[in-house]
Amino acid sequence: MSSRYAKKLHDLELKGRFRELVPVEQYGAGIVKYKGRKLLNLSSNDYLGLGQDSELLQRFYQELDRVESGVSGFSAASSRLLTGDSLLSHHLEDEIANAYKSESVLLFNSGYHANIGILPTLFAKGDLILSDKLNHASIHDGLQLSRADHKRFRHGDYEQLYDLLKKHRKNYDQVVIVSESVFSMDGDEADLARLIELKHEFDVKLYLDEAHGVGVYGQNGLGKAEEKAVLQDIDFLVGTFGKALASIGAFVCCSKEIHDYLVNHSRSFIFTTGLPPVTVNWNRFVFQHMLSMNRERLHLQQLSTQLRHAFTEKGIATRGTTNIVPVLIGDDSLALAQAKKLQERGGYLVLPVRPPTVPEGTARFRLSICANMQWKDLQELPLQIAAMASGAKSEK
């Protein structure tokens, strides 16, 4: 059996797709230490820089010291339906619900837990799930676990989605459209206005994954749905703590009926240990802090736009409109080699993204711009990538 796995691993190496873990040490705001070098970290989802804010972390621990010891435990030691529940989790759910003006909120242990737990629980035989083709792997896995029929429409192709709804809506008891708000590999965003039009026209549900929107968009950082003033049109809004909020965990905003149904039927909620009290406390702390970080959000958008324009001026292929700035390379091995050069000579921790994470022939750098960066940190990057692209062309 081992030879079969060894052959597949060898094939990955030949294609330039072999993945390895990348141990790094945090060194400062946006800086990591990797293989003995200090590098600007362009592969992190810590979009607001909260995870690297030592003063914020110190304040958090000082507040913990002033309250009872039960809120700082490192283990819940049980599922929430046994003894792993706490008032802390309920307080956090209530605060999120209040911010989103949602009837109810339920915590999950991660965005992956949420998507593989909610979709199979709520949509079953006789239902149809229509999912954007570039939705996250956790959503695709949720589709596979569900007994509902499912179809994937081309990324952002709402005409195809319309045609699917027109053809199939009448054949199903319940239909749901599933989309991310910000797509993490292309850095583009869903057309929420169009999705909501289709939701109402065909009387379907709308499931929105705001994993890369929470913290970054909207006056209060509640995501693209807040920015577009459509929060009340989203039936199931999933947000995570594992990206801009620098922690772990997730939540879904929904009705009280759906909340109770998930508590009683969602396997990834029922059969897992609850989040540790110290994590729930940190989630509550950073959520409250994030609400007032509009200045950082504006800086982040300005910086991302400036970098994207600099790439375009240098003739570097990029996409999107968000703080996730892709640089399209194409060839897997070339992306791997150029990322290594940026690490060794450029001072940037850039990690290549290759198939199957992205479609064939679209290997890329996925640059995550964070609010604790400045233009001076990034201004050499377009020059270095342009020089490498020019060198690659001359070698052909």
pLDDT of residue 1: 52
Burial of 297: CB neighbours in 10 Å, binned 0-12, 13-18, 19+: buried
Which residue ranges make up each domain of the chain? 15-48+294-395, 78-290
pLDDT of residue 396: 57
Token digits of residue 310:
């600099």
Whether the link from the prior residue into 120 is cis, omega within 30° of 0, is no
**What pTM was estimated for this model as a whole?**
0.94
Considering only the top CATH level, what class is 15-48+294-395? Answer: alpha beta
Query: How far is it, in rounded angstroms, from Cα 107 to Cα 114?
Result: 8
| Residue 93, H or E segment | helix 87-100
pLDDT digits (tens, 9 = 90+) for 191-219: 999 999 999 999 999 999 999 999 999 99
pLDDT of residue 395: 61
pLDDT of residue 63: 86
The half-sphere exposure of 17 on its side-chain side, counting CA atoms within 13 A, is 18
pLDDT of residue 393: 65
pLDDT of residue 346: 86
> Which residues does the chain have with pLDDT short of 50?
none
What's the CATH number for 78-290?
3.40.640.10
pLDDT of residue 22: 87
pLDDT of residue 345: 87
